[in-house]
Amino acid sequence: MASLDQYQDKYRHIRMERRNGILQMTFHTDGGELQWGGGPHTEFPQAFADVGSDSENRIVIMTGSGEAFSGPQGTAAGTPKRAPAQWDQTYWEGKRLLTNLLDIEVPMISAINGPALRHSEIPLLCDIVLASETAAFQDSGHFMSGLVPGDGMHIVYPMLLGVNRGRYFLLTGQRIEAQEAKTLGLVNEVLPQADLLPRAWELAEQMAQQSDIVLRYSRVAMTQVVKKLMHDILGYGLALEGLGSADTMLNQ
């Protein structure tokens, strides 16, 4: 079992603070908006494992720093181009990124403080999803940048939007703004930026009135179907993404 003092300052891209059993994870790069890349891709799976193995965490709030939840906008030039052997680490981390997140067995709230242009499936896997009025969702790092959307995007968006809308979103680079995201069922509430974190804490404190067992088992019950999907096809999607990455490298 982990304890907060063991992992609180362990990660360069995650700031952590806990009050009365409620852990807030703030994603960032050098104190500013999170810039997705190798660092977060390596850190997040281990961080989620640490958080999930700490029995003192009763509720988790996930948010970003600055004006965006995650970026930068993906481009073809920034798409990873790797041979299969080089892709192995990405494959290993990619599976654990989402499975370790789903293995956090307490309720999770995401407070999406701005555009989520990279790995926007991460906050959408929380149990309650709040968004600022400036939030937006896009998969800019995969198909529109020359890469197969196989690292969980191919599961989460068709699951949440419906199969046809999800495939359209992934194949066209569609950007969904906050109010439309609420209408489509991606988020539960849209709030002014200043009200976002206070609302997340209000909901967390409300849920924290329940017992530890009820909190944990509610999360387990409601994520079981999603975990089964991840178990069945996440690794396959990552393998296909790796083949696409190798093809891009060979055809440069």
Rounded (10°) angle between helices 38-52 and 84-102: 30
Phi, psi (degrees; rounded to nearest 5) at 134: -95, 0
**For residue 50, which of 4, 109, 17 has the smallest C-alpha distance?**
4
Distance CA 55, CA 4 (A): 10
Distance CA 45, CA 145 (A): 24
DSSP E strand boundaries for 40-172: 59-64, 108-112, 128-132, 136-137
Among 33, 43, 93, 121, the one annotated catalytic: 121
Distance CA 84, CA 171 (A): 24
Distance CA 153, CA 150 (A): 6
DSSP E strand boundaries for 105-249: 108-112, 128-132, 136-137, 176-177, 189-191
Burial 70-79 (b: 16+ CB within 10 A, else e): bbbebeeeeb
Radius of gyration of the chain (CA): 17
Distance CA 104, CA 221 (A): 12
Q: Is 56 a catalytic residue?
A: no
Residues belonging to the active site: 121
